[in-house]
Structures are given as structure tokens and as C-alpha cells.
Amino acid sequence: MLSNDGIIRAIPELDSSFYDVELTHEAAVGKISQEEIEYLMARGLSEEEATSLIVKGFLTIEIKGIPPALQAQIDKTLELAKSGF
């Protein structure tokens, strides 16, 4: 993957033969579900903590095999993004 001679294509697609069904893919992007926030709030987190935990789960990027310096740069960039810069 780190060489210049590879190709990667990702085309997430879901198909259903049922009429009234809602399908989602793990790569979907959208608003955080209020149900997910309430689930975490029921376990003692504030709304802000619950939202932050969900977002942090999407921002945690650890790629096995990349050089430590590159991982450090990714981590630094994410910290800057979380702080608003």
C-alpha cells in the first residue's frame, strides 16, 4: 500500500429486496444517532461526553506497519483537529 504501483477501490453498496427497510454501512457519514447518545448517557456520561466518545471512536487511527514518525504526525494532526485548529 505504501508503494506507487497499487490501486485501491472501495465502493460500499447495500441492496435489499424488502420494501420498508433502512440500510446503513459502517462507512456511512451522517449525524450521530440520538439513540446512541442516550445509550451512553444512561450509563452515566453527559451528552457532551457521550458525543465526544462517539466522535473519538471514529478519529482513532492506528495503522499497523506504518513508520512511527508517520503515526506521530497523524496523532498530532488529530489532536489539533480536536482542539479546533
Q: How does residue 20 score in pLDDT terms, banded at 50, 70 and 90?
A: confident
Residues 6+ apart with CB under 8 A from 74: 61, 63
Q: Say what the pLDDT of residue 26 is.
A: 64
Is the pLDDT assigned to residue 4 strictly greater than 80? Answer: no
1 is a domain residue: no
- 3-state SS, 10-60, equals CCCCCCCCCCCCCCCCCCCCCCCCHHHHHHHHCCCCCHHHHHHHHHHHHHC
Integer Cα distance of 19 and 31 in angstroms: 24
61 is a domain residue: yes
Amino acid at 30: G
Q: Which domain holds residue 51?
A: 34-83
4 is a domain residue: no
pLDDT digits (tens, 9 = 90+) for 24-51: 766 656 678 899 999 999 999 999 999 8
Q: How many domains does the chain have?
A: 1
